[in-house]
Structure 1
Amino acid sequence: MSEKTLSCAQFSDTASLIAEVLRQFSRSASAITLDGLDEDRFHSVALPLGKAGYRCIFGAAGHLFVPLAATSQHIVVTATNDNFHFLQPVMRLMREQGHLVSEVSCRDVSAATLAGYLKHCDVAWFEWGDGMVIPASRLPKYCRMVCRIHGYELFQPHLLQANWQNIDEVIVVSEAMKARFSELLGENLPASLQITVLANLTDHQPATQFSARRNPFHLACVARFAPPKNLHMLLPLMQALVRIDKRYKVFIAGRVEDERMYYSFCQLTHTYGLQNNIEYCGVVPADKMAAWYQDKNSVVSVSYHETQGMGIFEAMLAGLKPVAFHASGGLDEYLPNDYLFSDIDAAVAAICAGNPNPQQYVAEGLNLLRQAQLRESYPRLWQPHAHQSPLFSILIPTWNRERYVLPAVCSALNQRDDHFEVIVVDDGSTDSSLAQLAHLDDPRLRIISKAHTNAPDTRNHAVAHAKGEYVVWLDSDDLLHANALRHYRALLARFPQTDVISCAMEKHGSEKQFYAMINHPPATWLHQVIHGNFISNPGSCVRRALYEKVGGYDPAFIRAHDYEFWSRAIGEAQVMFTACCNISYRVHDGNLTGIGKPVDMSWEYRIFSALVQRYPLAALLPGHSNKAREVFVAARREQLRLQSAVDNLCIVIDAINQPLAALTPMIALLARQQDRRFTLLIVADKPLAFVGQPVVIADTLCPQTIADFAQQKWPGQYYRSFLLQPGESEPQPRQAITQLKRAILGDAVMPSLFQRL
């Protein structure tokens, strides 16, 4: 078996690229890296390869595909300083269950490399809380992230550098450590972060027979030379034992982390005259520890801070008697009080009592460690939630998106969940959008065509055809991350009362921009909606019954129909937020709305007006006086009116198709307006010197001509253009512009004098 690299540039079409990848896999390749695979083409390639049993597990400069069963997870693991010692039994369990485990070294790893793994795995496991979890937590969140904290990290500043909003679950070994972690984060502890107390797994096997070489005077101490291990306390303990019998000797196994501490210990050993009673054995390999324990009688721990004390338990499995000082950190949650001592005299008495029955400690160690139960508990940390329910409906409304719709649909079908449907509703496209999807043969996909109306009506059509308990919205020019549904399923299992989940997203393309969102458990957000739309529609997950309860999208809202829906739903819905980056959002000229684009804010004005009519001000603005509420409403209304840019108004007179005699009264009408904050544009096919107003020369009344003029007048701003109709009369002709602006904001009927261009 071998690894291959293919350059995508040499394949003119995606089908030939896929065929070559499958051919290489069938011949000899165990892994294939595809170079030059952009984000759109990736989804089109990943779908057929996934159905053939191949999965991308890394994507940075190239995308690495390997054979991986659909039931298998890809789990990425890292450990501070590449110390995987405690993680080895966990990784072995992962692999026994058929999962692919990628060990990522901390050495020379870049942000791009780390992101390449995180984007293409199911679960990322960070061993220790002061290493790779810090940079990983500051990257966009794509996968489930678990961090296991062992104890020392909770007393160093590095842990606070991590963005714990992006971590799903923290594992600690004791309730004491859980309390310490919560105390350390304080108000910054995310409400959504799960903190689980779970003991360590161990590879140490219980001894079944005991060597005749066991020496009743030999003691074991498994500890590194680091302050929490408190090894200097061994000196008075050994001094007390040697006074009783000079044959007592302690053997220390562990690395030297603090050279000064080790130097001091060695010097004091001579000062105490214990050089014949204390022996430092250095680091003993894990597979040699069982033999190392054979001639020892008791294991001694003098740590002043110990969480679980795995070294103690591993010694017990070898038949050694535990003698441990009553340290803080959680040791007393695992060891019975009979083995915990708070003074040297008690420890000396326990050691001198001997160890006549080593099998007793083997049996007790097995009972206290509960390894069988742990092997059943650990998989919950990486296994996806059961797929029986709920069904998700991924809804993709589309109109003339032939360039983007195929990768969008493929990204939906690439979901690693297996209980969902994808519904594409085409709003009467006149391009080849539907033809782009013709080759997709997937029972999970339904394509529905309808006559062209508008976006909100098309969304309502999609909801009407959905069968899922929850719908997930995907615009046909965006991409859905493969873990999105699994992430939503996990959240709904934990918070079943949730009606809406809003997610984070990133800007599509090579120049990434991440639009983050903090985690927040489900809540009623009525007090927030009056300040503006705070729920992101792309990628949102919505309980379908909510549409039945509050109604669908208002077809009158050509823009901001999502905000208008949220403004009605917010009074009924429990809304939660997730930092998971489920959407790659594409910005292009054809966006209905877009990040950074000038938009028609008059729709927000209308929604605000409806909000203050629909809900009591006391509910919208709790904790304020009635006077403060009235002041806020007036100020917010004026702010939205200004943002609506109603003064960026271009009134167009058609001098091409109208007789010249009609121009004078039309210009006179505009000259009499009380509101003069508008711009007159006369479009003619020849110069009109007599009108005394600027004239734009054009062959026809073309929208582009008006757009070019408006862009020069209001660069980068939203504007509106209206055609002034000849021969129309109004009850108050001097108020026509005023009434037009009020109509734009929804506060009046549109005057018949004007036709929107």
Structure 2
Amino acid sequence: MKSYVPYIFCIKRKNKNVFPHKKVIIDPHYHKLNHKLKDHFFKLIHARFGTSGIRMLRLKEKWQIPLITSFHGCDSPGTARMKKHKRSLQRLFSVGECFTVPCLAMKQELVKHGCPISKIVVQYSGINLDQFAYKERFYPLDGQIRIVHVGRLVEKKGAEILIKAFHRIQQIFPQARLILIGTGRLLKKLKQLSLDLHLENNIEFLGALPHSEIAKHLEEAHIFCLPSLKDRTGNREGIPNAIKEAMACGLPVVSTFHSGIPELIKDGKNGLLVKENDVSELATKLIVLIKQPETWRKLGLNARVKIEADFNREIQTNNLERLFDQVIKAHEKKQNEKPLFSVIIPTYNRERFLGRAIKSVLQQTCKDYELIVVDDGSTDQTAKIVKSFGPRVRYVYQKNSGPSEARNMGISLAKGKYIAFLDSDDYFLAHKLKENKTYLEAHPDCHFLYSWYYNDKFGSKRNVVRNSRSYWDLNAFRFHLYRRKFTIRTSTAVIQKSCFDKTGLFNSRYRYSQDWDMWLRLACHYTGKCQKTPLAVYRRHERKVIPAGNRHFNIRKTALELYRWNKETLLRLEKKYGARRSAKKNQSISA
């Protein structure tokens, strides 16, 4: 590649001599990749095979990096291997930016299984033409026709069909030889078949060979044959590189009307094609080809021209780099489109309530938001529930660190101007964000907003809690908040993101009351404003009373230090604001 430096992350490394890439990182659980993404080291993830794309979903969503997934054939959505990933595959189709396929047939397969056609690009794999030189073919003087098959010895490569067809060929051309290059689980079975058909002296099993040796065998061959077929699990080819390499060498090629192969070979023009899994037709076609060596030159020359035009590695690599450019550019443009609100839902083992909370956000009449769910190490069905909502919800998982760290993770990832918090057991009313937006537009100096709410106690009838109010005097706001004279429910709070630059994030020392600590710290700089209408539902659960201990003392101590208050200040404020409140209360009683 010219414009990009690829780093290859894999579970384990094999065939180092065949793939001598320098930047290969063994990373079975993708921890190293996660750290690189955290540092914004990469601009794009290119997942080879659909299963790899599925494994990359979590990191893609966590770090908001574009993802291209390349399907090949063994990972076709219709295969038994991929059917068990059906749900994950649909999520991949929904979330992933782009999907490359090796042929038009595979494109149709992806569309059939739910992938948006606009996301699919046919990206042919190219070969190194310098490694496979063109050579004109002639009938050998000794009559020893060499037919070569290159491919893994698995069902879809059709070696068994070829051996059976070769049995008929050998009866007419006893000097003919079949060379099988490659290995696989069918090796023992195929060797036994050659013995049963008395072909052991005419068939060579050479095993897996490096490209340089494969090129030598192709140079010495007269005919190449790869009768690919769809196997019993649904596994199929894309367009086999082995066929491209043989065509580049000028070999007359015989293959099948299978998957993307007809996009490469036009029957009778630059090769020959037969029906899949048809021993008789394959044998007949090969016999006719052997009998007509005068056609070899035309087939081989046309084959080389086709490869040079459409399957040149350099051309296809340039095409892939242009695709990377397009996907990265589109992603960056989308990233720059910032929403008004970032709704953050921290959650831990709330599978019973989480779906309702998410739905309440997705059903908002104001659509100018992003939704981030931070899973604080849940062990229930949280991940499955969140992922069922598709790309509208950004799901982030972290080890259990407490609600403060979960909220902080959400804030760090948020792109919106305002942060709207929602506890995972509460839910918004449908017009909540619209009402917030209207107020904020009318009061552009407001940095800290909250509202009344409904109290849903143990699933009983809801009642409105109206004890929150606005205080235009900053000291009055601080005092009443400090004395806990009213409650700001986290699920009603909307805070301008820039505020956290001054106040800092939630204190991870506090698993409880961390919201009160935050409101007090915000009050060091901003007066909170209250919308006097219920906009959220707060669920109350039966649970043991949690002792405040030193927690409240420490929170108040921090506030006193921030406000530079002392005992005298508190007494003065108590006299000013507390007495006024008592007087109003007594006045209402006497009336």
Q: What TM-score range do you get, normalising by the shorter chain?
A: 0.5 to 0.7
- The residue that corresponds to 1:334 in the other structure is 264
- Counterpart pick for 2:200 among 272, 275, 299: 275
* Cα distance in structure 2, aligned partners of 1:603 and 1:330: 50
Amino acid across the alignment from 2:364: H
Q: 1:302: how far off?
A: 1.7
Q: 1:172: how far off?
A: 0.8
- The residue that corresponds to 1:307 in the other structure is 238
* Cα distance in structure 2, aligned partners of 1:647 and 1:503: 24
Matched-pair contact (CA < 8 Å) for 2:453–2:492: no
- The residue that corresponds to 2:282 in the other structure is 344
- Counterpart pick for 1:374 among 286, 295, 316: 316
- The residue that corresponds to 1:207 in the other structure is 133
Task: Say which SS state the counterpart of residue 366 (structure 1) adopts.
Answer: helix
- Counterpart pick for 1:219 among 147, 170, 174: 147
Matched-pair contact (CA < 8 Å) for 2:467–2:487: no
- The residue that corresponds to 1:114 in the other structure is 33
Residue correspondence of structure 1 range 162-241 to structure 2 within 5 A:
163-164=91-92, 165-184=94-113, 186=114, 189=115, 191=116, 194-205=119-130, 206-209=132-135, 217-241=145-169
Task: Say which SS state the counterpart of residue 170 (structure 2) adopts.
Answer: helix
Amino acid across the alignment from 2:133: A
Counterparts in 2 of 1:129 and 1:529: CA distance versus 1, 3 Å: closer
Q: 1:75-96 CA distances to partner (integer Å, 9 max, x unpaired)?
A: 44446865799x979x9xxxxx
Task: Say which SS state the counterpart of residue 238 (structure 2) adopts.
Answer: coil
* Cα distance in structure 1, aligned partners of 2:343 and 2:288: 61
Q: 1:381: how far off?
A: 2.1
- The residue that corresponds to 2:178 in the other structure is 250
- Counterpart pick for 1:125 among 46, 59, 67: 46
Q: 1:595-633 CA distances to partner (integer Å, 9 max, x unpaired)?
A: 35899989956946999xxxxxxxxxxxxxxxxxxxxxx
- The residue that corresponds to 2:187 in the other structure is 262
* Cα distance in structure 2, aligned partners of 1:148 and 1:347: 34
Q: 1:462-505 CA distances to partner (integer Å, 9 max, x unpaired)?
A: xxxxxxxxxxxxxxxxxxxxx8x76243799xxxxxx8879989
Counterparts in 2 of 1:710 and 1:73: CA distance versus 1, 3 Å: same
* Cα distance in structure 1, aligned partners of 2:433 and 2:215: 75
Amino acid across the alignment from 2:106: M
Matched-pair contact (CA < 8 Å) for 1:235–1:269: yes
Matched-pair contact (CA < 8 Å) for 1:147–1:169: yes
Residue correspondence of structure 1 range 122-161 to structure 2 within 5 A:
122-130=43-51, 132-139=52-59, 140-154=62-76, 155=79, 156-157=81-82, 160=86, 161=88
Matched-pair contact (CA < 8 Å) for 2:194–2:200: yes
TM-score by length of 2: 0.55
Residue correspondence of structure 1 range 551-630 to structure 2 within 5 A:
585-586=411-412, 593-596=419-422, 607=434
Q: 1:77-121 CA distances to partner (integer Å, 9 max, x unpaired)?
A: 446865799x979x9xxxxxxxxx94344xx43232122234420
* Cα distance in structure 1, aligned partners of 2:419 and 2:342: 17
* Cα distance in structure 1, aligned partners of 2:64 and 2:202: 55
Q: Which moved more, 1:164-173 or 1:357-366?
A: 357-366
* Cα distance in structure 2, aligned partners of 1:152 and 1:143: 26
Q: 1:137: how far off?
A: 1.5
Counterparts in 2 of 1:254 and 1:536: CA distance versus 1, 3 Å: same
- The residue that corresponds to 2:532 in the other structure is 744
Q: 1:643-685 CA distances to partner (integer Å, 9 max, x unpaired)?
A: 9986342799xxxxxxxxxxxxxxxxxxxxxxxxxxxxxxxxx
Q: 1:73: how far off?
A: 4.2
- Counterpart pick for 1:325 among 247, 253, 256: 256
Q: 1:567-594 CA distances to partner (integer Å, 9 max, x unpaired)?
A: xxxxxxxxx969699x962499xx9755
Amino acid across the alignment from 1:112: H
Q: 1:295: how far off?
A: 1.7
- The residue that corresponds to 2:540 in the other structure is none
Matched-pair contact (CA < 8 Å) for 1:225–1:255: yes
Structure with a larger share of its residues in helix: 2
Amino acid across the alignment from 1:153: D
Task: Say which SS state the counterpart of residue 273 (structure 1) adopts.
Answer: coil
Matched-pair contact (CA < 8 Å) for 2:152–2:183: yes
- Counterpart pick for 1:292 among 206, 214, 217: 217
TM-score by length of 1: 0.44
Q: 1:380: how far off?
A: 1.6
Amino acid across the alignment from 1:364: N
* Cα distance in structure 1, aligned partners of 2:102 and 2:331: 25
* Cα distance in structure 2, aligned partners of 1:263 and 1:715: 70
Task: Say which SS state the counterpart of residue 707 (structure 1) adopts.
Answer: helix
Q: 1:175: how far off?
A: 1.6
Counterparts in 2 of 1:207 and 1:502: CA distance versus 1, 3 Å: farther
Amino acid across the alignment from 1:330: G
Counterparts in 2 of 1:503 and 1:83: CA distance versus 1, 3 Å: farther
Residue correspondence of structure 1 range 621-660 to structure 2 within 5 A:
647-649=465-467
Matched-pair contact (CA < 8 Å) for 1:146–1:167: yes
Amino acid across the alignment from 2:30: A
Q: 1:641: how far off?
A: 6.2
Counterparts in 2 of 1:245 and 1:503: CA distance versus 1, 3 Å: farther
Q: 1:4-32 CA distances to partner (integer Å, 9 max, x unpaired)?
A: xxxxxxxxxxxxxxxxxxxxxxxxxxxxx
Task: Say which SS state the counterpart of residue 220 (structure 2) adopts.
Answer: coil
Matched-pair contact (CA < 8 Å) for 2:149–2:179: yes
* Cα distance in structure 2, aligned partners of 1:217 and 1:203: 27
Q: 1:418-469 CA distances to partner (integer Å, 9 max, x unpaired)?
A: xxxxxxxxxxxxxxxxxxxxxxxxxxxxxxxxxxxxxxxxxxxxxxxxxxxx
Residue correspondence of structure 1 range 428-507 to structure 2 within 5 A:
487-489=331-333
Task: Say which SS state the counterpart of residue 171 (structure 1) adopts.
Answer: strand
Residue correspondence of structure 1 range 715-730 to structure 2 within 5 A:
none
Amino acid across the alignment from 2:34: A
* Cα distance in structure 2, aligned partners of 1:531 and 1:706: 32
Q: 1:244: how far off?
A: 0.3
Higher relative contact order, structure no. (Cα contacts within 8 Å, ≥ 6 residues apart)? 2
* Cα distance in structure 1, aligned partners of 2:369 and 2:488: 29
Q: 1:315: how far off?
A: 0.9
Amino acid across the alignment from 1:181: L
Task: Say which SS state the counterpart of residue 138 (structure 1) adopts.
Answer: helix
Matched-pair contact (CA < 8 Å) for 1:84–1:127: no
Matched-pair contact (CA < 8 Å) for 2:169–2:287: no
Amino acid across the alignment from 1:124: I
Q: 1:555-575 CA distances to partner (integer Å, 9 max, x unpaired)?
A: xxxxxxxxxxxxxxxxxxxxx
CA RMSD for the aligned pairs? 5.1
**1:531 and 2:364 matched:** yes
* Cα distance in structure 2, aligned partners of 1:713 and 1:537: 27
Number of aligned positions between the proteins: 403
Task: Say which SS state the counterpart of residue 109 (structure 1) adopts.
Answer: coil
* Cα distance in structure 2, aligned partners of 1:80 and 1:354: 49
Counterparts in 2 of 1:102 and 1:606: CA distance versus 1, 3 Å: closer
* Cα distance in structure 1, aligned partners of 2:303 and 2:166: 25
